[in-house]
Amino acid sequence: MSLAARPEGVRVRAPGKLNVSFEVGPLQPDGYHAVASAYQAVSLFEDVWAEPARDFSLSVGGSVDVTGVPTDDRNLALRAARLLAHHIGHDGGVRLSIQKHVPVAGGMGGGSADAAATLLACDALWGSDLGMARLQDLAAQLGADVPFALMGGTAIGLGRGDRLSPALATGRFDWVMVVSEVGLSTPAVYHELDRLREGAPGVLHPVDPSVPVGVLQALRSGDPVALAAHLSNDLQAASISLQPALREVLALGEDSGALAGIVSGSGPTLAFLAADVTSALELQVTLSAAGHKALHVHGPVPGARIV
Ligand code: ATP
């Protein structure tokens, strides 16, 4: 164990995300799609507590339904810990306890946040002090959204979403998230997108995805009205095709004062952009009264950090 290691344990908090713009290119021979994403980290956090142990183990709890979350090596947090241990030649293990607040399989990158938090926590616990660039490299090996959960704030992601550059953003954006009881599998949503595109060969799709300049300008200006006009997600039609009830909820939010609504990532969580805090709280009350699980969040917030 290095001198800098922390034998008492480390707690790290990492944020969930939404994509204010998401363009998906064609299916590539390797089975992936090139994407261009404008990410915003929002104030729904995952807490990961890492304690020294001989073996690798994991427990999961939190304020969301965690029944679908594996606690074996399929869990992205455990894979993150093992990857870092292998990378630095650490021969012990870690006991991980995760408190989840990001909806599971909701398109808000909760598992990715757990992996990012675990990388940072184990890096501190084991005293490896890899620095952000090398942690980002490991993060990209775990999943396309993991590097952003480390970075946080507002960023553009190219490639699979993991080639990140920070984006200039001012002010604060208030969102109301509507959480669905049943999650959607990200691969299933991409599969549905491919199926829909095959069925509509005349429709043009981005060959070389990018983030539209209007999105960048709206983020820079901090103007929610401008951002609302540019929210877009190429996965939205596929998510709605798999969960058609989302269409009515989107309409309800937009009729109830949201500036605009969008499917978050691969869904089925919906993100409604509000004009300000007051409008967001009003919208949250209206959607809750209609029987939906609605959460008020804001962004951007920082990436994974030790607390
Ligand atoms: P993303 O938007 O990053 O694709 P998501 O936010 O839609 O993902 P997650 O909650 O990250 O969804 O998890 C999707 C699936 O991954 C879960 O259904 C679960 O089977 C598996 N999984 C692996 N590790 C985790 C984890 N730490 N937390 C939640 N799910 C996990």
Q: Write the pLDDT tens digit of every residue in 222-248.
A: 999 999 999 999 999 999 999 999 999
Is 279:272 a contact under the CB 8 Å cutoff?
no
pLDDT tens-digit readout, 274-292:
999 999 999 999 999 999 9
The owner of tokens 């609504």 is 261
Å from CA of 111 to ligand 1 middle: 4
Å from CA of 109 to ligand 1 middle: 7
CB atoms within 10 A of CB 288: 14
- Taking residues 38-60, what's their average pLDDT? 98
Mean pLDDT score across all residues of the chain: 95
Return the residue whose CA atom lies nearest to atom 13 of ligand 1: 105
User: What is the ipTM score, two decimals?
Assistant: 0.93
The owner of tokens 């713009």 is 21
pLDDT on residue 1: 46
Match domain 10-167 to its CATH number in 1.10.645.10, 3.30.230.10, 1.10.287.3510, 3.40.50.1370: 3.30.230.10
Distance CA 16, CA 239 (A): 19
pLDDT tens-digit readout, 124-142:
999 999 999 999 999 999 9
Task: Check if 100 is active-site.
Answer: no
Distance CA 186, CA 201 (A): 23
3-state secondary structure of 120: helix
Taking the CA atoms of residue 83, residue 87, residue 91 and residue 96 in that order, the dihedral angle to the nearest 10 degrees is -30
Provide the CA 118 distance to its chain's centre, in angstroms: 15
- What is the token pair recorded at 299? 């962004």
The region, left, alpha or beta by phi > 0 then psi within -120 to 50, assigned to residue 131 is: left
Pairing of strands 154-158, 93-100: unpaired
Atom of ligand 1 nearest to the CA of 66: 29
256 or 206: which leads in pLDDT: 256
206 or 115: which leads in pLDDT: 115
pLDDT tens-digit readout, 6-35:
778 999 999 999 999 999 998 889 888 999
Closest residue by Cα to residue 13 from 44, 47, 59: 47
Is 222:263 a contact under the CB 8 Å cutoff?
no
Pinpoint the residues of the chain covered by CATH 3.30.230.10.
Answer: 10-167
Superfamily of domain 173-299 in CATH is GHMP kinase, C-terminal domain (3.30.70.890)
Q: At residue 255, does pLDDT exceed 90? A: yes
Annotated active-site residue in 17, 100, 114, 123: 17
pLDDT on residue 5: 64
Pinpoint the residues of the chain covered by CATH 3.30.70.890.
Answer: 173-299
Annotated active-site residue in 47, 114, 123, 145: 145
- Taking residues 244-258, what's their average pLDDT? 97
